[in-house]
Amino acid sequence: MALKALHKTKKIKSVKEEVDVKDFISKGGTLAKPIKEQDDDNHRLTVRIPKWLLDKVDTKRKERVGKISRNLWILEVIEKATKS
């Protein structure tokens, strides 16, 4: 079986489309505004936790009534541990 070569056809835009595109580009726009964190008091922290300890955290977290995220559970434990 002979293979047939495929030829890509170049789509030619109309003059009106070219003008519309140039008009759109020439209008320009504004730069995106930088994203500001809502709460500047929050800090991100990377913590390395061994798998066996993370498994314990997940077990304790699932014993609690309702669903709670791992992050929130860890924050609650830290808060309890740091109360004076």
How do residues 38-83 score in pLDDT, each as one tens digit? 656 778 889 999 999 999 999 999 998 888 999 999 999 999 999 8
How do residues 4-50 score in pLDDT, each as one tens digit? 776 666 666 677 788 787 888 888 777 777 766 565 677 888 999 99
Q: Tell me what pLDDT residue 81 has.
A: 94
- Give residue limits of the domains in the chain: 49-84
* Longest CA–CA separation in the chain, Å: 84
* Radius of gyration of the CA atoms of the chain, in A: 29
Contact yes or no for 69/53 (Cβ under 8 A): no
Q: Cα–Cα distance between 61 and 73 in angstroms, integer?
A: 7
Q: Cα–Cα distance between 13 and 20 in angstroms, integer?
A: 11
CA distances from 54 to 29, 60, 69 (A): 48, 10, 13
Whether the predicted model's global pTM rises above the 0.85 cut: no
Is the four-CA dihedral 25, 26, 27, 33 of positive or negative sign? Answer: positive
